[in-house]
Structure formats: structure tokens, C-alpha cells
Structure 1
Amino acid sequence: MKKVLFAWELGDGLGHVSRLLPIANALRVRGVECAFAVRNLVVTHSMIVREGHRVFQAPFVTPYAPPDVRGKVIASIGDVLATVGYIEPDKLTALTDGWAAIIDSFDPDLVIADYSPTAGLAAFGERPVVPIGDWFTLPPGNWSEFRTFKDAPNRVDPERLLETVHEVQRRRGKALPDRVPALMHGARNFVVTVPELDPYQKHRVDTETSPLQPLPAAASRQPEQDYFAYLSNGYAGTPKALEALARSNWSGEIYLRDANDEIRSRWRDRGLTIHNAPRPIEQAVERARVVIHHGGIGTLEQVMAIGRPQCIVPRHFEQQKNSEYLGKIGAATAMKSGNRFQPEHIAQAITATLTEERFAENARIAAADLERRGPFNLYTRITDYVLAVLNAR
């Protein structure tokens, strides 16, 4: 029986596993044994084992800035990697050996990697790797070095990253990549979003770009309440957003990820409707006049397809960048990332999104355009490609 390992190393939320599971399930039906190595085992374990797949705890470290680069702006994926061991040979050796132990234990014929450069390093030159991701988590691997995505220089010299990778591979007696982006690049690469949401589209080679699965149909009924909010309790700006909602007369419902009973009860006492479990996204979005969320690309696409305007409360640069596209087409308002806003700012943004008809109209136009171009089914093409590679081995 052929085997495939699904790797998730960096990033947070449920989006990484959510986009890997449909591929694993499709491969299992075709007789392929699948297993997962995931960053957040506690949150995703039940999702994965419920589908009948094995799951390992992925090796990872909590990002931190080494002293010699502390205080400088993160301007590229290379700078992100510098915060998780890629300028510290001992640390990166430990992580790479950890990934190699999982790979050797499960012995897959192929690795599907979602934001997992160190899994790519552990498998480099030995097993085929198929990378998937969104624009941020899957930069063009044909680049000689990671380019900056901000108006700022790299805070870490790209050569330093490559020297660290080479030192690790020498210690392990393994092949040396000629560039660090090669760790996130395969013979075929898949960017799981609409092309408009990929600012690197023109730079890519050997890459397909499309939503992973068919998107929801455009809303067929009028909204029944003012808002639906899908927010993370772990983000420092979330209480400000909830405060704005609690002070308002708007009607709506909220799913507050990572919250416990005490936190949910506290906001319920303020008059908010807080659900204990995620709501079916299509139903919740269709019921609302505006959807408030952090700007994760999966949620953003689904809300776009249903045709509701959005208010984005981005936690970081990637989500801020995602919100810029919606802002350009006039279908969303957005806060500044990094918790740089106050409750009154988000109240103003939601008020504008609710009261200015152009937001609803532009959202309807965007939904109609996606419906015309669909249905999308990148996961089928990923599955077919993986099966072709497996059958050729």
C-alpha cells in the first residue's frame, strides 16, 4: 500500500488541516494510507482521527527573535524562518532530525507539505514533496532567495539562512539545497486560492492556483441579522471588537475560537450571543448583513462567494494583505493589523459597512463573478497528480 504523510509545521488556526483533510480522504478512497504530522495536535487530533488517519505531533518551536535581529521588521518569509531556528544550526538540526524521525517511522512514498519548510528539509533529495498553501505560506520556490513583501529590507541576510541549512545537512550527511526557497518547492505546487488573492502569481512556475473545493453558492435570501463574527479569543484585539459589538444595538451571533466557558459567559452577560461550537459557515454568513473575521483566506473566500460584505480585523500582515484585495473592490472595511485600533474604530467600520449600500452591492458583484468562473476543484487535481506520482514510483 502506498503511503502519504501530510505535514503542517508553521502558522495557526484550523485552515491548514482543513485544506489537507479532503485530499487525504480522497487518497484513502483510492487505497492510499495517510497520516498527519501537525503543529497543534490538541486542536486538530479529533478532526483527523475521526476521518480514520493517524496523527503525529510535528516538531516546532515558538517563534522568537534572536538578539542580533530583535527589533527589526519581519519583511520576508526568510525573516519568519529566522525566528524558528533557521539562523541557529543546533536548533534547526534538532527540528530536522525530529521531522526525519517521523518520516522514517511512517515511511511515506510522498510528503504533502503545508507551510512546512523543515519537513521539506528532512525529505530533501530523498522523497518527493508536494507543497500546497496560500500566497503567504507558499512563496515562489524558484526564487534564489525569499523576496521582501514590505517596503523594508530583509532583517536577516538570505545567505545566513542558506549557510545554516547547509550546516545542518552536512551534520546529517544529506544533500545540500542550492537555495532555501527550494525547501518549499516541488515539481508541482498548488496555491489554494483565487488568483486575484495571490500577489506572486506572475512569478510562479510549475504551479496551479485555484480554490481547493467548490465555493458556496451566492446567497439567495435577504439577511436576517446585522452581523456574524468569527474571531479568535487569543488575539489581543478581539476584546476591542467584542466591546464595540456589546455597546451597539446591532443583532448578531459570534463564534469565539479558543474561548472557555468563563469568557463566553462574560460576554453573554454583556448581551452578546456567543456559540460554544462553530456554526455552519454558509448558514451563518447568509443570515448576516456583514461578516466580521480576521481575514484568513479560507473564510474570506467563502464569504466572498456567498456575497456578503466583510469587516476584517487582521491579526498580522498576511491577513492585512488579504483584506487589501477586498478593499480595492469595495467589498470590505478593515482595521490595522497588530491590534492598532480601538473599539470606536471598529464600530465606525461596521457602521459604514452596514449603512453604505456600495459594500453590499460590490459583494454581490464579486460573488456573481466567482460563481461564473466556478466550480473550482483544485483538490481533485492535487489528488490526481499525487496518484500519478505514487503510481510511477
Structure 2
Amino acid sequence: MRTKRVLLAWEQGAGFGHTIQLARLGQRLMAAGAEVVAAVRYLQNAGPLTEAGIRTLQAPSWPAPAPRPGDVVPASATLTDSLARVGLRDSASVRAVLRAWRELFDAERPDLVVCDYAPLAGLAARGRARVMQASTAYCLPPADLEAMPLFHHFHPPAHTDAEVLASVNDAVDAEGLASIDRIGGLFGGDDAFVRSFPLIDPYADLRAGEAEGPVMEGVMREREDGARSIFAYLHADVAARPDVAAVLMALADRLEIHVPGVEADWLSALTGAGARVHRRAVPMADALARSRLLLHQGSAGVAADALAAGVPQFTLSVHVEHYLNGEALAAAGLSRNVPLFDPKARADVDAVRAWLEDDDALLIAAAAGRMHRAMLDEANPLDMLTGRCLDLL
């Protein structure tokens, strides 16, 4: 009997969060006897997968659609709008990606495709393999949604659900695939697993059940008594903003920082000012255990780590998913959020310092940490996701 094969697919989004979490799942599936291959959007982010011994391929790229006025909007108001801008509004682009996925599936012959923010991979896999949709909450709306919710009022949506649905269906019809009857059908499959805590699920009120929880590397420890460091985990383009750079310099004497992929000398001024600069990624459990505050962009994975560790957060959100996470944390008393895509917004060192010294924030974060660690102890999301993938196989 042929060994069962799993293909891990990642199409949209950026950063290492996608490949880190797929690698954790892939390792478990290989340990259970499956063969695992990954097709990823950015090969430069494939390190976690290759280090886990997973063969890695370039995923089909989405051709950029012809530009339209208003395309340069930093934070789309709906998920439909975001996906339209990067290709789904153009049926020819959609068809090209579907055809490329089908050719890849013909070559790899997967029995199961695990989709991490990979809607076209999921559509192309129907009838060829079982499909598990597994992603963070923002990237995985319920498959029965008739309309995507409006997330903010900074900018109005430029595309409608009907427009994108028609574009996608033109392409799937041309490829001989079954059409979808609602916008949520982009995220349909045989099963779905939401890799976020319910607290930061923007579709929580629209789901039939709760989000299952983040796929973590290990047990997150409680923040240490007397922890005083500020841990900053930022993308280079955010850390380089003049207002953010000024905040980092002002806090350098208490700062630990990691900026993935940055040149070695880029952070030399911070080192000279007394900051502890990490050239390589550090285990989040270790960094958060000694931190009084986490400064980051609001990514779901990092936010989940801090939630479980009981560490207050300060989010500098640069697009809508990060903004939604930051706002949800702020509403729970766990963070302060600055939407950097708003032209009027600026990072301010006084605001960070005030939050850093807020003792009530520490108490609230500690309580949230106990609650979220208990959730993970009761049902480990990585165990659950692995088991459900094996059930599909």
C-alpha cells in the first residue's frame, strides 16, 4: 500500500508564522507515518519546514491584476477586498493559479491538502484529495458565510462579495470545477481548524463553534516575578519607521529585540544604547518569561504566546488582521493598540511607558494567562489538529 501523502499549502500572507505552524503539524504527521511535502508562497520563509525535514516546493504565485485607482490602501475593510486586490477580482489570474495547482497535484498526488490561507489550493484540490482548512482566525472565515463582515471604517471596501464570487466562478467553470454559491465557499473543505484563541477571532459570533486554539511549540510558562524586560518582535519595515525607531531607542536600556531577516549592522545603534539584540530567533517561552511587556505588530501567533504567558502587549498594527487582534486585546484590557496605517497615528514612547508601568495591566494579563494555559492543558490544539488530519487520511 502506498504511503499516505500530505501536501501543506500556503498561498497568501507573509512572515514566518505560516511555515512555523505548518512545520509543527508536518512533523507530527511524519511521525505518524505520512509522507509530507509543502508548497509555500515564499521559499525564503521555508526554513522551519526544511529544518523539520519536509520537502518544500514553490507554490503557484498569484498574478497581480491590472491596477485600479485606490488599490494602494494599507488596510482593506473586508477579507474579500484584501483578496480581490491581490488577484481574485481577475478571473484569468484565478484560472492560471487553479491550473498550476492542479498540475502540482497531478505530480505530487496528495491524499490530503492542508490549506493555510490558501483558498485557491483548496478549490483546486476538490475531488482530488481531502481538504483540511487550518489557519489563524482572520484567514479562515466560516465556509457558510454569505457575506464577509466589514471590519473597520478607515477606508470603504472597493470590491463586493458578488464581484469576487463571479470572478472566481468564471475561472472554476472554465477549469471544469464545481462553482461555489457563497463567498465563504472559498474556505470550504472536509474539515476546518481555526488556529487562534477565541478572544482574537473576528468571526467568533458567526461560527457554529469556537476557534480551537493556536498550534504552539511547547508549554508557555508564566511570566516570572520581577520580570522587567520589554521584548520587541517587529518586521524591519515597522522597526525602521522614525516614530517606532525613536520609541525603541528611548526604551533601549530595558529592551530585548528580534527583527527577522535584518542586516547584522542595522540594529547597531540599539546595541550601543544598551539593548539586547537577538540576531537569531529566540524561544518565545524564554523571552516572555522575563518580559513585563511585549511590543509587536499584533500577529495572531505572537499575540497567542503572550496571552498564554500572561504578558501585557502593545501592538503597532500595520494591516487589518493585526489591527483586529490588537483591538480585541485592548478591549479585554490586555493591550494598547496603535493602527500605524492610519495617517494620524504615531508610536509614542510616553504611551508605551505608561502602559509598561500599569500594575492593573499586569494583573489582568496574569489572569488571562492562567485561563489560556488552562485551555491549552485541557485540549492541546496540535494534538487535536494532528488527529483530525489523520482521520481524513
| TM-score, normalization by structure 2 | 0.90
Which residue number in structure 1 is paired with residue 271 of structure 2? 268
2: CA distance, partners of 1:325 / 1:212: 20
Which residue number in structure 1 is paired with residue 221 of structure 2? 217
Contact 1:216 1:305 (8 Å CA) reproduced: yes
Contact 1:215 1:302 (8 Å CA) reproduced: no
Q: What is the CA-CA distance between 1:204 and the residue it aligns to?
A: 1.9
Residue of structure 2 aligned with 1:240, choices 230, 240, 243: 243
- Runs of 5+ unmatched residues, structure 2: none
- 2:53 maps to a residue whose letter is G
- 1:310 maps to a residue whose letter is Q
- 1:195 maps to a residue whose letter is P
Which residue number in structure 2 is paired with residue 11 of structure 1? 13
Instruction: For residues 110-147 of structure 1, give each alpha carbon's deviation from its aligned partner in whole angstroms, at most 9, with x where no partner exists.
Output: 10001001111211343221101122100111112333
Instruction: For residues 243-285 of structure 1, give each alpha carbon's deviation from its aligned partner in whole angstroms, at most 9, with x where no partner exists.
Output: 2221346422111123112312344345433221112211111
Residues 278, 145 of structure 1: alpha-carbon distance in 2 compared, 3 angstrom cutoff: same
Which residue number in structure 1 is paired with residue 87 of structure 2? 85
Residue 312 of structure 1 aligns to a residue whose secondary structure is strand
Which residue number in structure 1 is paired with residue 136 of structure 2? 134
2: CA distance, partners of 1:206 / 1:289: 33
Residue of structure 2 aligned with 1:252, choices 246, 252, 255: 255
- 1:212 maps to a residue whose letter is V
2: CA distance, partners of 1:85 / 1:249: 41
Which residue number in structure 2 is paired with residue 145 of structure 1? 147
Residue 146 of structure 1 aligns to a residue whose secondary structure is coil
Which residue number in structure 2 is paired with residue 34 of structure 1? 36
Aligned length: 387
Which residue number in structure 2 is paired with residue 67 of structure 1? 68
- 2:225 maps to a residue whose letter is R
Contact 1:234 1:258 (8 Å CA) reproduced: no
Contact 2:252 2:275 (8 Å CA) reproduced: no
1: CA distance, partners of 2:392 / 2:169: 28
Instruction: For residues 20-59 of structure 1, give each alpha carbon's deviation from its aligned partner in whole angstroms, at most 9, with x where no partner exists.
Output: 1121111111111010011110122x32122121111112
Q: What is the CA-CA distance between 1:185 and the residue it aligns to?
A: 1.8
- Runs of 5+ unmatched residues, structure 1: none
1: CA distance, partners of 2:71 / 2:16: 29
Q: What is the CA-CA distance between 1:237 and the residue it aligns to?
A: 6.1
1: CA distance, partners of 2:283 / 2:82: 33
Indicate whether 1:106 and 2:108 are aligned. Answer: yes
Q: What is the CA-CA distance between 1:177 and the residue it aligns to?
A: 2.2
Which residue number in structure 2 is paired with residue 312 of structure 1? 315
Indicate whether 1:57 and 2:58 are aligned. Answer: yes
Which residue number in structure 1 is paired with residue 388 of structure 2? 385
Q: What is the CA-CA distance between 1:196 and the residue it aligns to?
A: 1.9
Which residue number in structure 1 is paired with residue 48 of structure 2? 47
Indicate whether 1:287 and 2:290 are aligned. Answer: yes
Residue 209 of structure 1 aligns to a residue whose secondary structure is coil
Residues 299, 208 of structure 1: alpha-carbon distance in 2 compared, 3 angstrom cutoff: closer
Residues 249, 121 of structure 1: alpha-carbon distance in 2 compared, 3 angstrom cutoff: closer
Residue of structure 1 aligned with 2:165, choices 155, 162, 166: 162
1: CA distance, partners of 2:100 / 2:68: 25
Which region of structure 1 is more displaced relative to structure 2, 243-252 or 1-10?
243-252
2: CA distance, partners of 1:115 / 1:312: 23
Q: What is the CA-CA distance between 1:322 and the residue it aligns to?
A: 0.7
Q: What is the CA-CA distance between 1:212 and the residue it aligns to?
A: 2.5
Contact 1:230 1:254 (8 Å CA) reproduced: yes
Indicate whether 1:175 and 2:217 are aligned. Answer: no
2: CA distance, partners of 1:269 / 1:374: 40
Residues 162, 329 of structure 1: alpha-carbon distance in 2 compared, 3 angstrom cutoff: closer
1: CA distance, partners of 2:250 / 2:65: 36
Q: What is the CA-CA distance between 1:94 and the residue it aligns to?
A: 1.6
Residues 206, 124 of structure 1: alpha-carbon distance in 2 compared, 3 angstrom cutoff: farther
Which residue number in structure 2 is paired with residue 192 of structure 1? 195
2: CA distance, partners of 1:160 / 1:360: 46
- 1:33 maps to a residue whose letter is E
**Percent identity of paired positions between Structure 1 and Structure 2:** 28
Q: What is the CA-CA distance between 1:195 and the residue it aligns to?
A: 1.4
Contact 1:289 1:354 (8 Å CA) reproduced: yes
Contact 1:65 1:83 (8 Å CA) reproduced: no
Q: What is the CA-CA distance between 1:5 and the residue it aligns to?
A: 0.5
Q: What is the CA-CA distance between 1:335 and the residue it aligns to?
A: 1.4
Residues 76, 9 of structure 1: alpha-carbon distance in 2 compared, 3 angstrom cutoff: same
- 2:179 maps to a residue whose letter is L
Residues 50, 372 of structure 1: alpha-carbon distance in 2 compared, 3 angstrom cutoff: closer
- 1:31 maps to a residue whose letter is G
Which residue number in structure 2 is paired with residue 373 of structure 1? 375
1: CA distance, partners of 2:64 / 2:358: 41
Which region of structure 1 is more displaced relative to structure 2, 186-195 or 108-117?
186-195
- 1:156 maps to a residue whose letter is H
Q: What is the CA-CA distance between 1:216 and the residue it aligns to?
A: 0.6
2: CA distance, partners of 1:43 / 1:58: 12
Residue of structure 2 aligned with 1:326, choices 309, 324, 329: 329
- 1:363 maps to a residue whose letter is A
Residues 341, 287 of structure 1: alpha-carbon distance in 2 compared, 3 angstrom cutoff: farther
